[in-house]
Structure 1
Amino acid sequence: MHSMPSQGSAKQDWRKWARSTRKATPDVSDDIIQHLAQWIYDQDIQHVLTYKAFGSEISLERLPKLLPDVSFYVPKAETEPEPHMTIHPWETATLRHALGMLQPPPGTPEEDPSVLQLVLIPGLAFDHQGYRLGYGMGHYDRFLSGLSRDCKLVGVTSDALLVKKLPHEQHDLPVQWIVTEYGLTETNSGF
């Protein structure tokens, strides 16, 4: 396992550390799913964008089964005409993307992102201010900037990948909550 980078380190050093740490961390998906299911129920949230995990990401596959009355959606990463995301019904994600995750196949009808009340966001790591270390493609950053400020943003990670401070850019949008195996906590994002 790589040692944690110093505060001034480049994002690629943080990504190496996060990938190594994530591979060495036990799977905490079940604990996170339980916390999220209860929180979504308590908040009376009806429209949730989640994701299909790949590699060693936290898997939320069981979450829609626990909340059958909630509408779940899945993103599709697009590269043309520029990198962006579209959203689709959860059950349509059946095609393996080149990066390894399941996505909706071409031609799947899109949903309007304005219905979303909650977005569950994967990341390599998160910090206490709510900033996310992503994979470097910018899909989530562009997508999140177009959502209503009423839409709740929750970063999904293990406690081992929640750090004091990550490098971030001016355009990066912090999440308001982080969920780990220990539950949900509000970030210091200033929302």
Structure 2
Amino acid sequence: MHSMPSLGSAKQDWRKWARTTRKSTPDVSEDVSQHLAQWIYDQDIQHVLTYKAFGSEVSLERLPRLLPEVSFYVPKAEVEPDPHMTIHRWDTAIQRHPLGMLQPPHGTPEEDPQILQLVLIPGLAFDQQGYRLGYGMGHYDRFLLSLSRDCKLIGVTSDALLVSKLPHEEHDVPVQWIVTEYGLTETNSGF
């Protein structure tokens, strides 16, 4: 395993470290899904944006089966006219994206992001302040700024990719909680 970059390292060095670390980390999807299902149930949340995992991301495919009474949605990354995300019902994600994840096909009806009570956010790594190391496209950061302040944000990762501090930009939006195979922890985001 590569050693963790220093805080002053470029984001691409952090991304390389995170990808290598994630590939060598056991799959924690089952434990993470169980923790999330219990938390969502306890919070009485009804509208959740999750994601379709690709590569070695933590998979949350079981959540809709664990919580059949909850409405789940998936994002679709769009690049035209400007990079942005649209929201669609979970079961519409049937088309393979070039990166490998499933997404809704062109023309699928969009849902209003204002109904979301919770957004589950994948990332290459997260830090204890709630900042996310993403893939560098900025789709989530732009999208998160458009949500209701009441919408809860949870970063999804393995404990091996939860670090004390990541480099971040002023426009980055921190999550309030992070879930790993050990459960949910509140961040120091102050969000």
Q: Which category of TM-score, normalised to the shorter sequence, fits these structures?
A: over 0.9
Partner of 2:42: 42
Q: TM-score, normalised by structure 1?
A: 0.99
1:147 is paired with a residue of what secondary structure? Answer: coil
Segments of 4+ moved more than 4 angstroms: none
Q: Using the TM superposition, give the Cα deviation of residue 11 of structure 1 relative to its aligned residue in structure 2, in angstroms.
A: 0.2
Q: d(CA) in 1 for partners of 2:82 and 2:100?
A: 20
Q: The residue matched to 1:120 in structure 2 has which SS?
A: strand
Match of 2:110 in 1: 110
Q: Does 1:120 align with 2:120?
A: yes
Find the counterpart in structure 1 of residue 97 from structure 2. 97
Structure 2 equivalent of residue 32 of structure 1 = 32
What are the residue-to-residue correspondences of 1:11-90 with 2, within 5 Å? 11-90=11-90
C-alpha separation in 2, matches of 1:36 and 1:66: 10
- Are positions 1:163 and 2:172 aligned together? no
Match in the other structure for 1:140: 140
Q: CA deviation at 1:85?
A: 0.2
Q: How far off is 1:84 after superposition?
A: 0.3
Percentage identity across paired residues of the two chains:
86
- Mapped to 2, the partners of 1:70 and 1:63 lie a distance apart of 9
Is there any run of 5+ residues in structure 1 with no aligned partner, and where?
none
Distance 2:172 2:72 in 1: 25
Supply the AA of the counterpart residue of 2:172.
D
Structure 2 length-normalised TM: 0.99
What count of residue pairs does the alignment treat as equivalent? Answer: 191
Deviations 1:109-133 (A, max 9, x none): 0000000000000000000000000
Q: Match of 1:48, as an amino acid?
A: V
Q: Report how far residue 95 of structure 1 moved.
A: 0.3
Q: Shift in Å at residue 9 of structure 1?
A: 0.3
Q: Which runs of 5+ in 2 are unaligned?
A: none
Distance 1:88 1:129 in 2: 29
Rounded to whole Å, the distance in 1 between the matches of 2:52 and 2:71 is: 15
How far is the alpha carbon of 1:138 from its aligned partner? 0.3
Q: Distance in 1 between matches of 2:139 and 2:124?
A: 14
Residue deviations 1:59-116 (CA, integer Å, cap 9, x gap): 0000000000000000000000010000000000000111111000000000000000
